[in-house]
Amino acid sequence: MENAILAFIGGGNMARSLIAGLIADGYLPQNLWVADPNAGQLTELRQNFGIHTATSNTEAMEHASVVVLAVKPQVLKTVALELAPTIQKHRPLVVSIAAGIREPDLNRWLGGDVAVVRTMPNTPALVQTGATALYANAHVSQEQRNLAESILRAVGLTLWLEDETQMDAVTALSGSGPAYFFLVMEALENAAVRLGLNREVAHLLTLQTALGAAKMALESNEDTADLRARVTSKGGTTEQAVRVLQEGRLQDLFDAALKAAHTRSIELAKLLGEL
């Protein structure tokens, strides 16, 4: 891994987070390239991380064994068609972090028979606490799978999917999931303010409670239902609050929300593949 040359096509927030995570893990900056049309962004990346930069995509990936596509989904087809001759010539591993672009579409744009790993990181990757699902096509070797996993593991948890269609469910859960938790935190904070707490106190208590609950769940061998039961004393305040949420059919709301996101993910993947 430490000897592989990585080329990032696109130098936005997600690429920056991956670069920061890789270097923090000991990756050599001289083995990292970034291509982006924004000269100011390239200057900042070069100054902050000591990596190579280029305005030309083909220059950045000329000697790369891994090419990370970190551009917006709407422009990925154009970028992929431009890269296709170089990809076909050098045969690197291609890692896509573009949401909604299916592997068959990307592979076709790149000229076919390309080793492609499609990934779905979520926005907490920006603070190295992301959750990323990965899917590899049949052209990806075990060594390349390990490479792709190492890259995405620099910004959080990683797991593999054997069926690409599951990526739509991943999008609905972890891809869109941060917004659900922000909404719940927003609702809790507002309710606490209405009970008489000032905004700052309500905000800090909400954030720390969310962090603590997530940390407890991550470090426990119990499932979330058992954890909930363990902190819900019979006849106590928590039991009363949970009863109200359950009577309000909270589970049904989340079922409907994830189903809506799942359906839209499928629709967008089809639309983006036809652009």
Please say if the pLDDT value at position 275 is more than 80: no
Mapping DSSP to helix (H, G, I), strand (E, B) and coil, where does residue 55 land? coil
pLDDT for residue 185: 98
- What number is the average pLDDT over the span 240-254? 97
Q: What does the pLDDT look like over 157-175, one tens digit per residue?
A: 999 999 999 999 999 999 9
Q: What does the pLDDT look like over 129-148, one tens digit per residue?
A: 999 999 999 999 999 999 99
Please say if the pLDDT value at position 217 is more than 90: yes
Domains of the chain: 6-163 (3.40.50.720), 175-265 (1.10.3730.10)
- Assign 274 a pLDDT band (cuts: 50, 70, 90): confident
Q: What percent of the chain is predicted at pLDDT more than 90?
A: 97
Q: How many C-beta atoms surround the C-beta of residue 230 within 10 A? A: 11
**Using an 8 Å Cβ cutoff, are 45 and 53 in contact?**
yes
Q: What does the pLDDT look like over 50-91, one tens digit per residue?
A: 999 999 999 999 889 999 999 999 999 999 999 999 999 999
Residues 6+ apart with CB under 8 A from 173: 258
**Using an 8 Å Cβ cutoff, are 140 and 164 in contact?**
no
d(CA 245, CA 239): 10
Q: What angle do CA 122, 115, 79 make, to 5 degrees?
A: 65
Which of 22, 10, 14 is CA-nearest to residue 147?
22
Spell out where the chain has E strands.
Answer: 6-9, 32-35, 52-54, 66-69, 93-96, 116-120, 130-136, 156-160
pTM of the predicted structure, to 2 decimals? 0.92
Q: What does the pLDDT look like over 101-137, one tens digit per residue?
A: 999 999 999 999 999 999 999 999 999 999 999 999 9
Mapping DSSP to helix (H, G, I), strand (E, B) and coil, where does residue 203 land? helix
Mean pLDDT of the chain: 95
Please say if the pLDDT value at position 24 is more than 70: yes
**Which residues on neighbouring strands pair with residue 250, listed in sequence order?**
none
